[in-house]
Structure 1
Amino acid sequence: MKRVGIIGGGQLAWMMGDAAKQLGVELIVQTPSHLDPAVSIAQDIVLADVDDVHGTEILAQKSDIITFENEFVNLEALAVLANQGVCFRPRLTALAPLLDKYHQRCYLRDLGLPVPQFFALEQPENIPSIIAHLGFPLVLKSRRHGYDGQGTYIIDDAASLEQIIEINQPRNTAFLIEEFIPFQRELAVIAARSVDGEVVIYPVVETQQEKQVCRRVIAPADITPEQMDVSEAIAHKLLNSLEVVGVFGIELFLTAAGKVLVNEIAPRTHNSGHFSLDACETSQFEQHLRAVCGLPLGNPALQCASAVMVNLLGYEDSQSDYQNQRQQIATIPQAHVHWYGKTASRPGRKLGHVTVLLNQHNQTAACEIANTIENIWYSG
């Protein structure tokens, strides 16, 4: 029986629980709190922050392989363990170009993948020339540790840019500036690569965001075969170049001219792939465990015509488990409610998600179902 250590104990690790049972895999989780979701599915836990290398040393002693639920790790410190023979999947060299968003942009550009124009904000005196080149609006991003819209700002004027930089100055936040893409749609694709180099790709999906936080995912995306091919080719090229073992999430822009650009790479399972738990033959979580354990990859195909996934986001500070809303949502035909078991709600926090399977590929119907779910959820 393989023992897989997971750095991170949030919902992404929690959702590996059922797949681990099916595959006969033991999960050991490194996470800072007994209250974190994945504690309930782990055979053992190491109570430590995800960047606590001593905690990872203990995790390594209990595990055959170590993988990642999030990317907030200290790669330099983990490299010492890797040099001592600890098996990380994906390898640290696959993560190294991706954790800093400026370095990630450079890697993608140098690989020949299409990305927005971007600049590192290293010298304040360079700001006027960057503004002159990009114009407004533009996008300001923290180079490290940004997720779910945190650390990402849409900037409309020079005064707002100066204000945000000044607010973040005490934390010495490093920033990336890039052009604002007036996209037609946001897309995403989940891809997995095995130890032997086999790559499988899930259907390209449309993601619908609000304040840079994912609200909905529609699978498959309503795009042309050519746009689908381009998206899949990006996934193949990226995973093979990095020699990834495991699942990656790739966020994309579809421009008004029909061009596909890479937005960001998540070196792990991803919110845009949650629909796969109920809609695909092999979920992204089972696929990730298969890959890191050296097992054959599973079939990523949809088992229904289409699916819509809606995130259940916190909208208040509360200790409620929202059972009434969840029960109402569960009565929707072919709805599957996944509740992460978090003990506290706060605005924007991901508390769960719902996937509804559809018998036809109909964008309008998918959006209507998503509206119904959100009306129940946010009605309180």
Structure 2
Amino acid sequence: MKRVGVIGGGQLAWMMADAAQKLGVELVVQTPSEHDPAVSIAKETVFAPVDDANATKILAQKCDIITFENEFVNLDALSILAQQGVCFRPRLEALAPLLDKYDQRCYLRDLGLPVPQFLALDEVKNLKSQIEYLGFPAVLKSRRHGYDGQGTFIIQDFAALEQKLSYETTTKNLNQSFFLLEEFIPFERELAIIAVRSVKGEIVTYPVVETQQEQQVCRRVIAPAEITPNQVAEIQAIAHTLLNSLQVVGIFGIELFLGTNGKILVNEIAPRTHNSGHFSIDACETSQFEQHLRAVCGLPLGNPALQSAGAVMVNLLGYEDSHSDYQSQRQQIAEIPQAHIHWYGKTESRTGRKLGHVTVLLDNQNREQAIAIAHSIESIWYPR
């Protein structure tokens, strides 16, 4: 029986449980708190922050392979363990160009993949003249540790940029080099694809999905996306180019923009299972979580095909500070035909926190119906 160490104990690790049981894999988790979701499903837990390499050394002694639930790790410290023979999948060299968003942008650009125009603020001598070609509105991003909308700001003009940088650098003790600036893309839709690469170099991709964000946080995912076959082929080609270039083993989430001009641009890469792939648990023959474990354990990859005509996934986000388990709302949502609720068992709710998700299987590919179902779920979940 293989033992897989997982750095991170949130809901992404928690959702590996069913797949691990199915595959005869034991999960050992490194996470800071006994209240983190994956603690309840782990065979063993190393209680420590995810960037604590000493704890990862202990984790390595308890398992065969180490993988990642999030990317908030210390690569330099982990590389010492890798040199000592610890097996990381994906390999650390594949993570290195991705963890800093500026490095990631440069890597994608140098691969010839389409990305928005961007610049690193620490390289700018005359900021005002340099950003004129980007135009406003522009997007200011934290280079590290931004997720679920954290560290991403839409900037309307130069005065607002100066004000935001002043606030971030003084109140949070950050310097300007912590940020990059990129052009704002007027998009028709936001898209995503989950792609996995095996030890043997085989690549499997899931259906391209549409993601709908509010305040830079994913609210809904519609599978499959209503786009042209050529656009699907272009996105699949982007996934193949990226995964082969990185020689990665494991699953990646790739977020994209479909511009109003019909062009595809890569937004961000997540080197792990991803929110945009949660629909796969109920809607696909092989979930993204099983697929990831298959890849890192050297098992044959599974079939990613949809088993229904379509699906819509809705994130159940916190909207208050509370310790409620929202039983009555969950019960009402469960009564929706073909609805599957996944509740992460977090003990504390706060605004914007992902507490669970619900996937509804659809009998046809109808975007309007999917959006209507999503709104009906949200009308139950969020207080009027």
- Shorter-normalised TM range: over 0.9
Q: Which amino acid aligns with 2:312?
A: V
The alignment's C-alpha RMSD in Å is 0.8
In 2, the alpha carbon distance for the partners of 1:322 and 1:126 equals: 52
How far apart are residue 188 of structure 1 and its match? 0.1
* Match in the other structure for 2:231: 227
* Match in the other structure for 1:38: 38
Q: Which amino acid aligns with 2:146?
A: G
* Match in the other structure for 1:323: 327
Q: In the superposition, relative to structure 1, how do residues 66 and 122 fare at CA in structure 2: closer, same or farther (>3 Å)?
A: same
* Match in the other structure for 2:186: 182
Aligned partners of 2:209 and 2:225 also within 8 Å: yes
How far apart are residue 164 of structure 1 and its match? 1.4
Deviations 1:112-158 (A, max 9, x none): 00000000000564320233111110000000000000000000011
How far apart are residue 171 of structure 1 and its match? 2.6
* Match in the other structure for 2:3: 3
Q: TM-score, normalised by structure 1?
A: 0.99
* Match in the other structure for 2:221: 217
Q: In the superposition, relative to structure 1, how do residues 139 and 331 fare at CA in structure 2: closer, same or farther (>3 Å)?
A: same
State whether structure 2 residue 174 is matched by structure 1 residue 171: yes
How far apart are residue 163 of structure 1 and its match? 1.5
* Match in the other structure for 1:353: 357
Structure 1 residue corresponding to 2:380, chosen from 336, 352, 376: 376
How far apart are residue 166 of structure 1 and its match? 1.2
Q: Which amino acid aligns with 2:187?
A: F
How far apart are residue 159 of structure 1 and its match? 1.7
State whether structure 2 residue 160 is matched by structure 1 residue 160: yes
* Match in the other structure for 2:87: 87
* Match in the other structure for 1:13: 13
Q: In the superposition, relative to structure 1, how do residues 147 and 216 fare at CA in structure 2: closer, same or farther (>3 Å)?
A: same
In 2, the alpha carbon distance for the partners of 1:145 and 1:259 equals: 28
Q: Which amino acid aligns with 2:46?
A: V
Deviations 1:272-325 (A, max 9, x none): 000000000000000000000000000000000000000000000000010100
Aligned partners of 2:124 and 2:130 also within 8 Å: no
Q: Which amino acid aligns with 2:298?
A: G
Aligned partners of 2:30 and 2:49 also within 8 Å: yes
In 2, the alpha carbon distance for the partners of 1:98 and 1:85 equals: 23
* Match in the other structure for 2:263: 259
In 2, the alpha carbon distance for the partners of 1:152 and 1:34 equals: 30
Q: Which amino acid aligns with 1:109?
A: R
* Match in the other structure for 1:300: 304
Q: Which amino acid aligns with 2:77?
A: A
* Match in the other structure for 1:77: 77
In 2, the alpha carbon distance for the partners of 1:352 and 1:130 equals: 43
In 1, the alpha carbon distance for the partners of 2:123 and 2:75 equals: 26
* Match in the other structure for 1:63: 63
In 2, the alpha carbon distance for the partners of 1:365 and 1:46 equals: 44
State whether structure 2 residue 367 is matched by structure 1 residue 363: yes
Deviations 1:16-35 (A, max 9, x none): 00000000000000000000
How many residues align structurally? 380
State whether structure 2 residue 245 is matched by structure 1 residue 241: yes
In 2, the alpha carbon distance for the partners of 1:81 and 1:233 equals: 34
Regions of 4+ moved over 6 Å: none
In 2, the alpha carbon distance for the partners of 1:313 and 1:172 equals: 31
In 1, the alpha carbon distance for the partners of 2:129 and 2:237 equals: 34
In 1, the alpha carbon distance for the partners of 2:234 and 2:123 equals: 36
Q: In the superposition, relative to structure 1, how do residues 123 and 93 fare at CA in structure 2: closer, same or farther (>3 Å)?
A: closer
Aligned partners of 2:5 and 2:64 also within 8 Å: yes
* Match in the other structure for 1:130: 130
SS of structure 1 residue aligned to 2:126: helix
* Match in the other structure for 2:279: 275
Q: Which amino acid aligns with 1:107?
A: Y
Aligned partners of 2:282 and 2:359 also within 8 Å: yes
Q: Which amino acid aligns with 1:151?
A: G
Q: Which amino acid aligns with 1:141?
A: K
Comparing 129-138 with 323-332, which one deviates more in the overlay? 129-138
In 2, the alpha carbon distance for the partners of 1:350 and 1:161 equals: 29
Q: Which runs of 5+ in 2 are unaligned?
A: none
Comparing 124-133 with 311-320, which one deviates more in the overlay? 124-133
Q: Which runs of 5+ in 1 are unaligned?
A: none
SS of structure 2 residue aligned to 1:327: helix
How far apart are residue 172 of structure 1 and its match? 2.9
Q: Which amino acid aligns with 1:30?
A: Q
Q: TM-score, normalised by structure 2?
A: 0.98
